[in-house]
Amino acid sequence: MSQSTVIKSTLLSWCIIALGAIFYMYEYYLRISPGVMIPDLMHYFSVGATSIGTLAGFYFYAYTPMQLVVGPLLDRFRPYQLLTLAVIACALGSILTGIAPADHIVIAYAGRFLQGFGSAFAFVGILKLGATILPHNRLALVAGLVTCLGFVGAMAGENTLAALVRHFSWQDVLITIGIFGFFLAPIFFFFVRNPHKTKQKQPRASSKEIFNGLLLTIRQPYLWLIGLIGGALFMPNSVFASLWGIPFLTQTHHLSTAHATFATSLIFLGWAIGSPLQGWLSDRLRTARLRLICVNTLIAATIIYLVIAIPNLNYIVLCVLLLAFGVFASAEVAVFPLAIEHMPIQYSGTAIAFVNFLTMLGGLTMQRGIGEILDLEWDGKLSHGIRIYSSTAYSHALYTLPLFLICAAALTLFAHFIKTRRNQPSKIAGAV
């Protein structure tokens, strides 16, 4: 193969990865949407924080358990087929949430669940494409770049959604987002393909091999540990940046909604900046990935604690802290190459999805969990029919974030102990 052909093939591979990342941006747009609509949703459905947390959490009720299914499906079927169906599910879910009647919040729950179902294929599907068409020494970089694009979309989405909701109804915004998804679907079907495939049919794993791979993955304590570490690092995105951060900053730091939205969106910008840097650094320090994660986790825990514990921070200082938090928390991208390196290549999709499943457990449990803590500490204060929660209530609820991060830093030590005691990849490769 000539050098020019190799260059063209490599560029085409990266273009396909970038195209796939558009879906990640789209699903992230949907994921964060309730965070800028909390007052409107509370007023429209006449509910409190627990119900809003439940509505937001229904995304993760589908997304998280689906990871155990998505991985094997991606190892069995072609990614472009599954990604096309997934974006259609997201679009339908967005429209369903937008048309839910005020006295039937369960329909909004169903739409949110459908959004999570479709979104479950995005990140894992792109990494599966990367594992198939790119060298393994680029996997952390792929995870970082894809995450970067996703969080660029999240930051832009949080600010543009807030502006759109101010000028249009939240229902119209969600319906429009859903319609846009139907334009994306044919693009994924025709263009997100493996450019290296030959005319011969590529062998696919049998159902028995897929089942064995899932069992093998679940039996790895190392994968459980790195998945839980990733979950603690990602949880503030699901709990703080995507949902409760804006009302917390308006209440505790006395910011306007616009200023609070911009400040929380800086976490996404931090992730967008940090993800490719952390991915590149992780690929350079392959044997020290866990140490890199540990240091970043401790710094992230310290920063988010300061944001929660110190009221009325100077706005510029607050913005710098939230931006820095995103940069350090983005070390989460390094858990995925750790999972891929740990398992045989034919089970890479299953390994990625299982770790992503654990990573998303925080959003599944704590979006509603924070809402329940807030409702427990609610003093009965109302404004225009909407519950108002005290600064103390928000602080008590959100102190769970630095606590989980400190626990994650401790888990890196256990993961390092397992990794150094046994050469897992070579032993696993011969186990199936």
305 inside domain: yes
Query: For residue 139, what pLDDT is reported?
Result: 63
Closest CA relative to residue 259, chosen from 273, 245, 271: 245
Over residues 272-290, the mean pLDDT reads 80
Count the Cβ atoms, other than its own, within 10 Å of residue 420.
10
CB 356 within 8 A of CB 123: yes
Q: How many domains does the chain have?
A: 1
202 inside domain: no
Closest CA relative to residue 74, chosen from 117, 24, 126, 27: 126
Whether 159 has a pLDDT exceeding 50, the answer reads yes
Amino acid found at 192? V
Query: For residue 432, what pLDDT is reported?
Result: 34
How does pLDDT run across 239-265, given as a tens digit for each residue?
888 788 888 998 888 888 889 988 998
Query: For residue 392, what pLDDT is reported?
Result: 84
Query: For residue 134, what pLDDT is reported?
Result: 64
Query: For residue 425, what pLDDT is reported?
Result: 45
Which of the pair, 403 or 219, is modelled with greater confidence? Answer: 403
259 inside domain: yes
Return the H-helix or E-strand segment holding 319. Answer: helix 315-329
- What tokens does 355 get? 């770790």
295 inside domain: yes
Treating both helix axes as pointing N-terminal to C-terminal, what angle do 348-359 and 361-376 enclose, rounded to 10 degrees? 10
- What tokens does 270 get? 């931090």
Whether 229 has a pLDDT exceeding 90, the answer reads yes
How does pLDDT run across 77-136, given as a tens digit for each residue?
777 788 889 999 999 999 999 999 988 899 999 999 999 999 988 877 877 777 666 665
How does pLDDT run across 331-348, given as a tens digit for each residue?
888 888 888 777 776 677
Whether 426 has a pLDDT exceeding 50, the answer reads no
201 inside domain: no
Please state, in angstroms and rounded to a whole number, the distance separating the CA atoms of residues 413 and 204.
37
Please state, in angstroms and rounded to a whole number, the distance separating the CA atoms of residues 43 and 30.
20
Amino acid found at 67? Q
Closest CA relative to residue 349, chosen from 23, 69, 63: 69
Percent of the chain surpassing pLDDT 70: 83
197 inside domain: no
Whether 8 has a pLDDT exceeding 70, the answer reads no
Q: What's the pLDDT band for 199 if we cut at 50, 70, 90?
A: very low
Q: What's the pLDDT band for 137 if we cut at 50, 70, 90?
A: low
Q: Name the DSSP class of 33.
A: G
- What tokens does 422 get? 């046994």
Closest CA relative to residue 39, chosen from 174, 165, 156, 155: 165
Amino acid found at 146? V
Whether 43 has a pLDDT exceeding 60, the answer reads yes
Provide the domain limits for residue 404: 3-192+207-429
174 inside domain: yes
Return the H-helix or E-strand segment holding 16. Answer: helix 3-32
81 inside domain: yes
Residue with tokens 């503030």: 236
Candidate from 38-42, 154-158, 161-165, 408-412 with smallest mean pLDDT: 154-158
Closest CA relative to residue 335, chosen from 430, 415, 406, 277: 415
How much is the mean pLDDT over the chain?
81
Whether 313 has a pLDDT exceeding 70, the answer reads yes
Query: For residue 86, what pLDDT is reported?
Result: 92
Question: Considering the entire predicted model, what is its pTM?
Answer: 0.71
| CATH number of the domain that residue 396 is part of | 1.20.1250.20
Burial class (CB in 10 A: 0-12, 13-18, 19+), 302: middle
Query: For residue 304, what pLDDT is reported?
Result: 95
Closest CA relative to residue 42, chosen from 380, 370, 388, 362: 388
Q: What's the pLDDT band for 206 if we cut at 50, 70, 90?
A: low
Over residues 223-235, the mean pLDDT reads 91
Please state, in angstroms and rounded to a whole number, the distance separating the CA atoms of residues 424 and 404.
27
Whether 195 has a pLDDT exceeding 60, the answer reads no
Round the CA-based radius of gyration of the chain to a whole number and report it: 21
